[in-house]
Amino acid sequence: METVLIEASFRKKLFTATGELTLDVNFAVQQGEMLSLFGPSGVGKTTILRILAGLTEADEGFLRVGNDVWFDSAKKINLPARKRPVGYMFQDYALFPNMTVRENLRFAQPAHDIRHLEELLELFDLTTLQHRKPDVLSGGQRQRVALARALARKPEILLLDEPLSAIDPQFRAKLQDEILEMHRRFGVTTLLVSHDLPEVFKLCSRVLMLEAGKIVKQGNPYNLFGENKISGKVQLMAEVLRVEKEDIVGILTLMAGNTLMKVAVCDQERQNYRVGDKVVIISKAFNPVIRKIS
């Protein structure tokens, strides 16, 4: 039987680039789950993470984690951020520039645990970089440090705010594998904000889709985005990189993970695809079927 770790129901008035918006959500997260918050910019995804972390206070509602109440507006309870066992990876990494990689991780630990620190350095391939400072690291290396630092305090909940948004596709696939390995090894309950559908399909078992501050759909990503219209033994998520016409057929160049492939489609079907579209490729009776994800 699955154990609910997080129970949340809260409201927060937001002022966005497109005007005033009320974030009004009610959701639960299972122990050990990796959940995605998905939707366009400005609908409140990052605010949900900040409320969970205690960095932003909801206007009303409650937040319960395990047997503890972290926030309850009616009872005037609001557990300070420093007392919440949360690891938060920010979009801009927020690393301390005057500290080395090792010192950044050590600073995040409530109590010094050299064994856990060494485990994180090894898991994220940072051992040879541990004595360098962030300003000499690449963007991908800084992201690995930020993720390792978020785990350094052994959090009950890990919050990832578009952790791989600035990384090129080939390296993004490697970091996704590291996140999956992290989740397998530590089993920490994780909430991920991402605009990248293949990333959501690869990493998350469930999705909360937000529009205008409200959760409008939730469920398994294949059911939510594929709408159960098709089935097959092999399914791959891909992004359309190029759409071309060649003789009487169309050619789609696709990126699935870090693998490039070309698929022929009829010329009429070619006109339905644009560069950047997310698609699912299904092997059905030995024939590939391509469907755009809604």
Question: pLDDT digit string (tens) for 179-237?
Answer: 888 899 999 999 999 877 778 888 899 999 999 999 999 998 878 876 544 444 556 77
Looking at the fold, whether 20 and 70 belong to one and the same domain comes out as yes
User: In this predicted structure, what is the pLDDT of residue 284?
Assistant: 53
- CATH label of the domain that carries residue 266: 2.40.50.100
What's the rounded Cα separation, in Å, for the pair 118 and 81? 26
**pLDDT at residue 214 in the model:** 96
Calculate the CA 133 to chain-centre distance.
26
Domain with 218, as residue range(s), is: 4-226
Whether 267 and 135 share a structural domain: no
Q: Where are the alpha helices (DSSP H) in the chain?
A: 45-53, 101-108, 114-123, 139-152, 169-186, 197-203, 221-226, 267-270
Quote the pLDDT of residue 164: 79
Interval 23-79: pLDDT, tens: 999 999 999 999 999 988 889 999 999 999 999 999 999 999 999 999 999 999 999
pLDDT of the residue at 250: 82
Q: Is 208 in contact with 216 (CB distance < 8 Å)?
A: no
Q: How many angstroms separate the CA atoms of 33 and 185, rounded? A: 13
159: β partners: 88, 191
Q: Are residues 91 and 74 in the same domain?
A: yes
Residues 197 and 239 in one domain: no
Which residues have C-beta within 8 Å of that of residue 269, sequence separation ≥ 6?
250
pLDDT higher than threshold 80 for residue 291: no
Range 123-152 average pLDDT: 92
Our count of domains for the chain comes to: 2
Output the pTM of the full model. Answer: 0.77
CATH number, domain at 110?
A: 3.40.50.300
